[in-house]
Structure 1
Amino acid sequence: MPDKTTLALTDSPDGIAQAAEVLRAGGLVAFPTETVYGLGADAGDDRAVAGIYAAKGRPSFNPLIVHLADLARVQELVVWNDRAAALAQAFWPGPLTMVLPLRPGAPVSKLVTAGLDTLAVRMPANDTARALLHAFDGPVAAPSANRSGQISPTTAAHVAQGLTGRIDAVLDGGPCSVGLESTIVGLVGQPVLLRPGRVTADDLARVLGQPLAERKQAEAISAPGQLASHYAPNAGVRLNATAWHDGEARLGFGPVECDLNLSPSADLVEAAAHLFDYLHRLDALGRATIAVSPIPHLGLGVAINDRLSRAAAPRTVSGPPTL
């Protein structure tokens, strides 16, 4: 498929205006958020959204998140409720995605929802993302800007490595500050944690005044990021390594000798920010296995372990969607 000229744009006013024009023309633009780089298209344009699936090689049963600039835009697309309002007040703009009932007649491609009657929506906090969304003045569907199932991108260079020639532009806004995809919470019926992230289950429970249910593995996909094999490098991944094997690339946490250390001081926020970038770097060494130190399974560590467990899962193979 690589046959496009991929523009490299800066996050200057001219670069943002050019990126918005590419979106209006039905093109694909990779842009930074505080979580990871997203691959954006006009969420109301069937052909543009189909281009996301084709560029990523993403299964068409995997829904997309729609990014919006302000709350009024969000409420045009979904059926709003008091729980959503409370979470928006606490965490938006920010790294939280809410899955809500799709408003009847909402101008969103069915490819975005993968045929579901719900929509995943988010207001990102990143300044470049917000400037692009305001300039485009509409809903932007955007999964992570990488080939499907591979390591998520946290720099423009990561995007270029995987998608040059497959998309129209990369808007460079520097490295992502959070470094993990957004938390996803389902708000249809009982609140349920669909994907852990920087906003933890405890954070959500405090605002909602009730604990969240957890999605069961056997349930059908209802939000992005739920495939068992995801975020995977070319190398195999060995988790909870307390000793290193010969020939492995070593990803440490805490005071251990290793090739790269997510956080020598065992800071989970620092570890999350480094996770995907360090997986990219170690994968480039060309070794068969990346061994990873144990990560505490609490707070943000739950989200880090979720991404690592999916990176270590048996690989799935998927082609472009049938449209």
Structure 2
Amino acid sequence: MTKEELSVSQYGRYIKLFIALVSGYMLPYLFGHKELSASMATSAWLSLALGPSISNSRAYFVQRFMTNLVPILGGTIIFIITRHGFITMMIVTLFMFVLMSKFPNRFRLTSLGVSLTLITGIGGNFTAGGERLISVWLGMAVGFFIECYILPPDQGFKMKKMLTDMEKKIIKIYYRLLHDRTLTSLKGFKIDELTEELKKIEAQMAGFNKDFSIKWAKHLKKYEKDIDFFKYSIELLEVSVRFLQKVCLFENDLTELSEEEKKYLFVNISEVVKKHEKLLLSFYETTENTEYEEEHFLEQNMDILISYLAEYQDTVRKISKEMYKAE
């Protein structure tokens, strides 16, 4: 398993969680603050819990810390005034509901319950409240540092793998279609599942873009030249899936076509497959070309790819019209 593959795998996630747990616990322990060990270890762990993603880790860092800071700080002050833990908790709870409705991206509802119940235990003790906030902040910082610099998730590698795997499936379906020359062969492939896979790829692209935009994610900068290719690969897959879905819809009607019409139809489908493979080959030749740094190289090749894609879409539309003849 390569470093890139490990960084986005479940095993890589376990490694980072273990490091976060040990680091979060041992750091305050070694500096003589044993009372903070459990809280720091929990915070370090939680900052990695949303999966291998720097953007998710950063968002959780901000949300969880703010969800601790505002209730504990505000609750400590209100407790000094009311001298009643339950009343303080109710006031802070209602205030946080209003605040979270106004700023939903700055707070985390799942972390709020612990903060609210801690108010009754902390009371007006600023020292206890400060220790809680320090342990949360430092613990989250430890976890975020681990996510950024110790086996940072390579979202670009995962993106390429997901695209390659789905492209292989599409080509396999096309080959089966042309070999059997009947639409019943598509029943062995779950075309609807391709739509779900495509949604996962689009979600992965969104995650990649978020991580790529973060300045700490320097390990992703090597994929800067691939962003356009990711986008057009997804567009290619979208066109292919829509086409295969349309083919499946006309399975029964195909029997009503004459042999000449069937022959013409599969000749056109063969054109789609050739254009699809030509486009894929162009993608990989361009992304792997060693002359990438030459001026205008990327711009020229992207124009070619876009023209290929337009031609591919035109061919798909032409075949779709042939399908409607079967109605």
TM value normalised by structure 1: 0.24
Higher radius of gyration, 1 or 2: 2
TM value normalised by structure 2: 0.24
Q: Which has the higher contact order (CA 8 A, sep 6+)?
A: 1
Of Structure 1 and Structure 2, the greater helix share is in 2
